[in-house]
Amino acid sequence: MDKVLIEGLEVRTVIGIYDWEREIRQTVRLDLEMAWDISTAGKSDNIADTLDYKMVSKRLIGFIEQSEFGLIEALAEACAKIVIDEFAVPWLRLKLSKPGAVRGSENVAVVIERGS
């Protein structure tokens, strides 16, 4: 199966379980790998024949900016559900990172795979 990737999509949101985290916006970063047959678009050169990664990105940005999850696990699940349900993506791997969440580390993240 072909794949469409979105890498390093950064969004500011309320995320975290501590009181101070509920009062600020932090950056989360998404990396998505989405299964998609691109052969039709490869022949037609028409955006209507492929997965519109700009629309996927805009939808996720809007959702994440308005969300207020405690855990990155819950946010990752919600994002995966949007992509699968609204864009008919049959399978995805999603990495959701929260840079600087642990002192001394560059990043913490979860990686999930959903779909068939």
**pLDDT tens for each residue of 11-21:** 999 999 999 99
98 in catalytic set: yes
Task: Name the residue ranges covered by the structural domains of the chain.
Answer: 3-115
Largest CA distance in the chain: 52
Distance CA(115)–CA(92), nearest Å, equals: 7
One DSSP character per residue, 10-21 reads EEEEEE-SSGGG
If one counts every other C-beta atom within 10 angstroms of the C-beta of residue 30, the result is: 22
User: Could you tell me the two tokens for 11?
Assistant: 């969004």
Residue 30 reports pLDDT greater than 90: yes
CB 5 within 8 A of CB 33: yes
pLDDT score at 103: 87
Question: Of 58, 81, 95, 98, which is the active-site residue?
Answer: 98
Residue 25 reports pLDDT greater than 80: yes
**Beta strands at 3-15 and 68-69: parallel, antiparallel or unpaired:** parallel
CB 30 within 8 A of CB 12: no
Structure pTM? 0.95
**pLDDT tens for each residue of 50-105:** 999 999 999 999 999 999 999 999 999 999 999 999 999 999 999 999 998 888 88
Q: 3-115 adopts what CATH topology? A: GTP Cyclohydrolase I, domain 2 (3.30.1130)
DSSP run (H or E) holding 96? strand 91-99
DSSP run (H or E) holding 111? strand 107-115
